[in-house]
Amino acid sequence: MHNKIDVVIMAGGKGERLMPLTKNTPKPLLKIGDKPIIEYSTDRLASYGIKHINISTNYLSQQIVSYFEENNEHQIDFNYIKESKSLGTIGALKLIENFKNEYILVMNADLLTNVNFEALFNDFLSKGGDALIATIPYKVDIPHGVVETKAGFVTDLKEKPSYTYYSNAGIYMFKKECFEFIPENTFFDATDLIEVLLAKHKKIVNYPILDYWLDIGKPEDFEKAQEDIKHLKF
């Protein structure tokens, strides 16, 4: 896997929902247990043989650069992309000119996850996708019988059904050619790109994450992470 993919970690956000923790510290550098959120991802990627990681930065970017200058036990070659303005979750990829590989893994910097990147990549290859979204499955149990209708008429009855929905996990895989649809110097989210690809009838793979995953967006997520990390295996 390591010699087939490039990696981009999106670390430009302000983490406003975590104020005041993020007043003087970028969210990716907030510590979970004994190390910053982002370092769990860089260490995990290194365990799969990844040696080169692009990090897109904006808010308090110099702190992230300085941290990895002093803490880089895996000798990762970091390339920093400094956004001059906020470009969303994927707009900054237009600023990267040196992708070496055909496939690019893109992930948010505020995720705590022990997802199996090798399995994710192999699933993407086996399904011949143009892009992949990692998702978190949510099962919803309806405690009552459901009456399905159309144009005012009943079409079906379902007794206490269960539905599974998939929530975006903030981890993506793209074929490099997909990036031609990212506009220059424009705020553009990964979901915007996925919508463009869907409109162009590209194949988008759904990869449900069955491993641990937590998006650290709110104070209660941050507190949950501090508890969970005591028992997690990475």
CATH of the domain at 92: 3.90.550.10
Asked if residue 20 belongs to a domain, the reply is yes
Asked if residue 139 belongs to a domain, the reply is no
pTM of the predicted model, to two decimals?
0.87
Between CA 47 and CA 172 the distance in angstroms is: 19
Q: Give residue 1's pLDDT.
A: 66
pLDDT score of 205 more than 90: yes
Asked if residue 160 belongs to a domain, the reply is no
Domain of 81 in residue numbering reads as 5-134+168-228
pLDDT score of 4 more than 80: yes
Asked if residue 155 belongs to a domain, the reply is no
Q: Give residue 99's pLDDT.
A: 82
Asked if residue 146 belongs to a domain, the reply is no
Q: Give residue 2's pLDDT.
A: 65
Q: Give residue 108's pLDDT.
A: 92
Asked if residue 86 belongs to a domain, the reply is yes
Total count of domains within the chain: 1
Q: Which of 48, 65, 47 is nearest to 56 (CA)?
A: 65
pLDDT single digits (tens) 27-76: 888 899 989 999 999 999 999 999 999 998 877 878 888 989 898 889 88
Report the DSSP pairing between strands 153-158 and 146-150.
Answer: antiparallel
Asked if residue 163 belongs to a domain, the reply is no
pLDDT score of 94 more than 80: no
Asked if residue 157 belongs to a domain, the reply is no
Residue 185's region, left for phi above 0, alpha for psi from -120 to 50, else beta, is left
Q: How much is the mean pLDDT over the chain?
A: 88
